[in-house]
Amino acid sequence: MPPRTLFALTLVVPLSGVALAASTQEVVPPPNAPATIEWNAEQGRLLLRYHDTPILAAAVDVENADGERIPP
């Protein structure tokens, strides 16, 4: 058997098994719900959660035109 054919067979067999295994599992999306936002003005912290899982955590700094930090 030529080496190219052997390579093609070894590549196709594992991929077909993965596709077959993935198609037998049912995927259920989470219920639709709004994200929650937490803003701490004293610390300049913003936290965005979706289904109680943080998806964004940010620190917000504000500067004027001269580059001086403006406290929150």
pTM score above 0.75: no
Find the largest Cα–Cα distance for the chain: 73
* Cα dihedral 40→45→56→50 (10° resolution): -10
Neighbours of 46 (CB within 10 A): 15
Strand-pairing partners, residue 28, are none
Position 58 scores a pLDDT of: 95
Position 57 scores a pLDDT of: 96
- Cα separation of 19 and 31, whole Å? 26
pLDDT digits (tens, 9 = 90+) for 9-45: 444 445 555 555 556 788 888 889 999 999 998 888 9
Position 54 scores a pLDDT of: 95
pLDDT digits (tens, 9 = 90+) for 39-63: 998 888 999 999 999 999 999 888 8
Domain ranges of the chain: 3-70
45: closest CA among 54, 34, 35, 53?
54
